[in-house]
Structure 1
Amino acid sequence: MSAEGENGTQLRRDLNELVEWFHQNEKLPQEIDPLLLRRFYQCMYGDVEETKKLIEVNYSLRNRHPHLFIKRDPLDDDSKRTFDYADILPLPGLTPDGSKVSLYCFREFEATKMHHTEDTRAFFMVADCRFVTPDDAARPNILSEGEVQIFDMKGTTMRHISRLTISTLRAYIKFLQVAFPVRLRAIHMVNCPSYLDRIVSVVKPFISDEVFKLIRFHTVSMDSLYAFVPREMLPEEYGGSAGSLEALRTHTKKALVEHREYLMNPNHWLVEKSEKRNGHSWRIFR
């Protein structure tokens, strides 16, 4: 048998073991999408036991913060407000080193439009939708090797920072650091304002040194970003050729609508207390 065949056999064995373990584990919900399970496994470099630990941490944090991860609807008024003033956009394709890139930016700069908790819930809906969608339409069987995030700070003021909810910020960063089903490779901050140091002083206490080292601040121009993210992956408004922000926005909204039932289905997210996990109590959600 070839090495590729052996690897494929081992992958199937490991995934079958993980599926069986998942369904028998009372610390976990009833269902998991096969592609999401593969992401957990790849994130832990194919180590089954480490994959199990990551999965349990992921769902434990989700259920500790149901207002961010479980009680949600991509079409409700809160989500509409977020998507009307800000963009949360997975970008098409993969970088040469196999990373998936996502872009976050304001479309309107009035600070009162920011609702940090609701915006964070929208962020995780987009992420959860992406995790069950192929990373590269041209190569649907290829999974990303990591995650690159671009935050456009254009229009960010200290009034925006004053609207941060500390408990939400703490939950968001902890989930990103210890529970994300992909490896965080880099965070790029572009169009940084002159008072960047004041902004960093607010969020740095919540970020581990390991993650903080992944952050790159682009303070002069967009040119320094192109050394890390190919232009062809970026929107036209950022000097790229991946289409307009409007087109990418439309694609993301379409994906959210198509996955709305999945995102709202408690069978995929909610962990029941063991005495209730008998299959009948789920009827209240149907």
Structure 2
Amino acid sequence: MLEAETKHKPETTECESTESFDPYTCSLSPALKLIAKEELHEDDNIRHQALHQFREWISKHPRIKKCRTDTLFLLRFLRTKKFSVPDACEMLERYLTIRQLFPQWFSNLDILDPTISEIFDNGYLVPLPQRDDDGRQIILSVAKNFDPYKYTSVQMARVHSLICEGLLDDEPSQVAGYVYINDESGINMGFASLWSLSDLRNMVKCIQNSTPMRHKATHFVNIPHFANRIIELGVSLLSEKLKNRITIHKSVDALKERVKPEILPKEYGGSIPMADIIKDFKLKLIQKRDSILALDEMCIELTKDYNSPSVKIISDIDTGVIGSFRKLEVD
């Protein structure tokens, strides 16, 4: 799926017309189509109607000036929000807004940037090639491979954002969702001062409220005793729904009781060396480089309220969207 998308850069168009758009052929397996139907209420008719309504809303939005309207991009939001078009519209507006409010985290995401490339090559954050039995994409984070004394929280965030954008148009992941494995065995005191509280709060809100991903499960493993408070702080900012999807394991062996060893890197008991996994996914990011950088062409006008420096800025984004959606006459 990722490879197929590299043949062309998705168009970012002026929001004036929705009459022409890309033809769509569903690439989901029969098993994933069943999950999409049962969990997301998706079928051919609902998908067609929702895409039409979504494009109409974008074209009539007074502040969205440029936005991708291709099917895979819009399905990011529709599938995350189980085909509630108002909720998908709300998430898209927040997504566009945070990209402009926090360009240091979400703009100019370039795998050829020397620092981003170096952090990725070090193996700090790696999407694994094999999925679990539910078809979910596994993303492995290895704390010891990130040096908090050399790199900043901004650079950490940019690596996360780049990898997410490299995955978000993948249809199986849109439906089945994502599982996160966090190996904290190498965490050190430098991580305690890496993020300010306000930045951490804003980032967590961005992830929860504005990123079109189905977060299905999070596993922490090998947390050193001194790092418990650091992890607890981050977890405390999550919604109850996401908190309930967190499992803490004392060891990799305990993790393997929940996650099949064969889908992990060789260093964790699987068959594929971490270096090979990193190399292969980096090639995919290079292939998708133009389309990821083109996301910066999207534009939404920010009001004075959105320019407020308050840490409540993300919650401010949440207001008023449903009302504006319902005022539009969408068939």
Name the counterpart of 1:7. 43
What are the ranges of 5 or more consecutive residues in structure 2 without an aligned counterpart? 1-33, 304-331
TM-score by length of 1: 0.81
For 1:118, which of 139, 152, 155 is the aligned residue?
Answer: 155
Where does residue 263 of structure 1 map in the other structure?
292
- For 2:200, the aligned partner's letter is L
User: RMSD over aligned Cα, in angstroms?
Assistant: 2.7
Q: Determine which of 239, 248, 273 is the counterpart of 1:208.
A: 239
The answer for the alignment partner of 2:133 in structure 1 is 96
Partner of 2:191: 160
Hey, what's the Cα distance between the residues in 2 that align with 1:230 and 1:27?
A: 46
Q: Given the superposition, is the C-alpha separation of residues 251 and 107 from structure 1 closer, same or farther in structure 2, using an over 3 Å criterion?
A: farther
Q: Distance in 1 between matches of 2:297 and 2:185?
A: 36
Name the CA shift for 1:56/1:244 in 2 (closer, same or farther; >3 Å).
same
Letter of the 2:183 counterpart: D
**Length, aligned pairs only:** 263
Distance 1:184 1:143, change over 3 A: closer
Contact 1:129 1:256 in 2 (8 A): yes
Paired residues for 1:64-213 under 5 Å: 64-106=101-143, 108=145, 110-135=147-172, 143-213=174-244
**Inter-partner Cα distance in structure 2 for 1:212 and 1:112:** 29
Report whether the alignment pairs 1:52 with 2:110.
no
C-alpha deviation, 1:250, in angstroms? 0.8
Match of 1:235 in 2: 265
2:220 and 2:92 mapped to 1: Cα distance? 29
- Displacement, 1:217? 1.3
For 1:168 and 1:74, locate their aligned partners in 2 and report how far apart those are by CA, in whole Å: 23
1:23 and 1:31 in contact (8 A); partners too = no
Residue 134 (structure 1) shift: 4.7
Gaps of 5+ in 1: 136-141, 275-286
AA in 2 matched with 1:176: I
- Amino acid aligned to 2:269: G
Superposition deviation, residue 227 in structure 1: 3.4
Name the CA shift for 1:159/1:36 in 2 (closer, same or farther; >3 Å). same
In structure 2, distance between residues paired with 1:23 and 1:90? 34
Per the TM alignment, residue 21 of structure 1 is displaced from its structure 2 partner at its CA by 2.4
Identity within the alignment, %: 26
**Residue of 253, 271, 274 corresponding to 1:245:** 274
Give CA deviations for 1:229-269 in whole Å, capped at 9, x if unaligned.
2223211111123x211111012211111111112125554
Helix, strand or coil for the counterpart of 1:192?
coil
Q: Secondary structure of 1:188's partner?
A: strand
Q: With the length of structure 2 as denominator, give the TM-score of the two structures.
A: 0.71
